[in-house]
Structure 1
Amino acid sequence: MTVLSQAHAGALGAPVAAQQQAREDLAAAHRLAVWHDFSEGIYNHFTVAVPGSSDSFLLPPFGLHWSEVMASELMEIGFDGRQLSGEGIIQRSAYCIHAPIHAAHPKHAAVLHTHMPYVSTLTRLRDQHLHAVGHLEAQLVDQIAYDEDYDGLARDPSEGQRLADILGERSILFMGNHGVLVTGRSVAEAYDRLYTLERAARLQVFALWTGQPLRGLSSAQVDRVQDQIHNTPLHDAASTTYKPGYQLHFEALRRLLDRREPDYRN
């Protein structure tokens, strides 16, 4: 992994507003992850592809606590490991995991990796699957891929490529004995998915704690939920003003953040 000392102009031709939006959203996601107990201080990593670029992503300098991350401090990192703009050090595992996954498919614009407690609890079980035993789980199960072959710390891009191959075009990767990785077409979509996933995992862990048999949904019930999620509207706004639930949720979270920690935008 090489690092360039000179500043990089960034994604040529991309609207400045889109790049600033991506920066603010990624900074907000780090702050929110502290609120929601998804973070491990300075460890784990959230990234987003630079709008207008096909080969770079944004990443905070390693060593910042997630409660300190600000939009202006994000570094632009090339898929080849070059530091294109910004100052600070690059966490090795962030580059090795995220670059191959960003490169694998355009839908992986935002890549969020955490060791958040309830999903990570499931990854420690012999059967780490999120089972369709409830409403939230039924919305997510078709998006999940599973890595059953833990291979140590990600210190080489080949590990990121291995994970990218397992993930494919799905948006959630359960990393056995490790944690979880969630992607989205935007930070808003990925963060909402991460939030929903941890809630679903928490409910499943609580259900397992009771020691009672789980009340599983039938395949027909799961199919119905999936059809409703993908093919029916969430609300009745006009088509010109319609926003998906993940966007509304993330905008609401950012409003809270604007009142409590507005410096994330700086």
Structure 2
Amino acid sequence: MSTLTHVKVRDNATVRKELTKACRALAWYGMQDAVFNHVSAIAKTKDGNGVVVLTAPFGLMWQEITEECFVEMNKETGEVVGEGVVPIVPMRLHLAAHRRRPDIEAAFHAHPQYSTALCCVKDFALQCIHPTSMCLIDRLACDRQFDGKKDYNTEFDRIVSQLGDTNNVLMMESHGILTVADTIAKAFDYMYKVEMACKFQITAMSTGMELKTVSLASAEKTRSLLATNFPDTAQERMDAVNRVLQPSSK
């Protein structure tokens, strides 16, 4: 039985609004792979008497996402509550994430260019070379067991288990990225940070010169300093992008 703290479940309308903002921000940063991305978050039912998992229906670009489009699933069975259809892959992956990690509100899966490219390198690893990668210390895990033979009854539980109880980012061999967090904004921000960190690393690697890594002690000091001086950059970053997209909104 999990001993993780259960995240506070927010009202349905708020979660729909935040998920929409996250999708639009990720699209603005160019992190979507056509329609092969998916997001989810737990929320109260519309009447406030239960809990559901909200996810976007398959076939939409992230720019198309609206607050009304999300499909509601039973957290335990995956059964759709109301109308809509959820394909088996996002259903199984996201249900596994929310069951395994009751401390999270949201889970995002995507194939951003640079982070996915690094996942395609033998013995891939994110190096501690920049403050963005330093922010992911002790928050990132790697799944190096891609074999192309997927048993949907067990594979997604195996994938999510690689996160452990504390990590927020999973780099998946020959596949892509999974992020989880206790707020939608943080799940978005972890996707942003891992993509930027991988972009810096791959760009540096392309010079052919040796990477200059930073000690874990120095990296931890940097992360602590950033966390102290910029405590809520996840929400601020997501909201800022949405102001750019909708300049008249408040």
Partner of 2:6: none
Aligned residue among 19, 29, 43 for 1:26: 19
1:124-157: CA deviation from partner (whole Å, max 9, x where unpaired): 0112110101211111132001101014376614
Return 247-256 or 132-141, whichever deviates more.
Answer: 247-256
Of the candidates 93, 100, 106, which is equivalent to residue 102 of structure 2? Answer: 106
Structure 2: how far apart are the matches of 1:29 and 1:53? 26
Q: How many residues align?
A: 236
Contact 2:92 2:152 in 1 (8 A): yes
After TM superposition, give the deviation of residue 185 of structure 1 in Å: 1.0
Q: Quote the RMSD (CA, aligned, Å).
A: 2.2
Aligned amino acid, residue 107 of structure 2: V
* 1:252 partnered with 2:245: no
Whichever structure has more helix as a proportion of its residues is 1
SS for the counterpart of 2:247 is helix
Q: Which amino acid aligns with 2:182?
A: R
Which is worse superposed, 107-116 or 249-258?
249-258
- TM-score, normalising length: structure 1: 0.81
DSSP 3-state at the match of 2:123 = coil
Which deviations, in whole Å up to 9, do the C-alpha atoms of 1:219-254 show, x marking residues without a partner?
221221233345x342xxxxxxxx612122222122
The residue that corresponds to 2:115 in the other structure is 119
Q: Which amino acid aligns with 1:181?
A: L
Quote the Cα distance in structure 2 between the aligned partners of 1:244 and 1:206: 28
Match of 1:143 among 129, 139, 144: 139
Task: Give 1:95 shift.
Answer: 0.7
Question: Which AA in structure 2 matches 1:135?
Answer: P
3-state SS, counterpart of residue 141 of structure 1:
coil
Query: Is the 1:131–1:141 contact (alpha carbons within 8 Å) kept by the matching residues of 2?
Result: no
> % of aligned pairs identical?
26
After TM superposition, list the pairs within 5 Å mapping 1:82-231 onto structure 2: 82-85=79-82, 87-152=83-148, 156-169=152-165, 170-230=167-227
With over 3 angstroms needed to count, the CA separation of the structure-2 counterparts of 1:137 and 1:98, relative to structure 1, is same
Checking the alignment, whether the CA contact within 8 Å between 1:47 and 1:58 is kept in structure 2 is yes
CA deviation after TM superposition for structure 1 residue 68, in Å:
1.4
Runs of at least 5 residues in structure 1 that lack an aligned partner in the other structure:
1-13, 235-242
For residues 70 and 116 of structure 2, the distance between their equivalents in structure 1, rounded to whole angstroms, comes to 27
Going from structure 1 to structure 2, the CA distance change for 1:108 and 1:194 (only over 3 Å counts) comes to same
Offset from partner CA, 1:43-77 (integer Å, 9 cap, x none): 12111111478863111111222221111111101
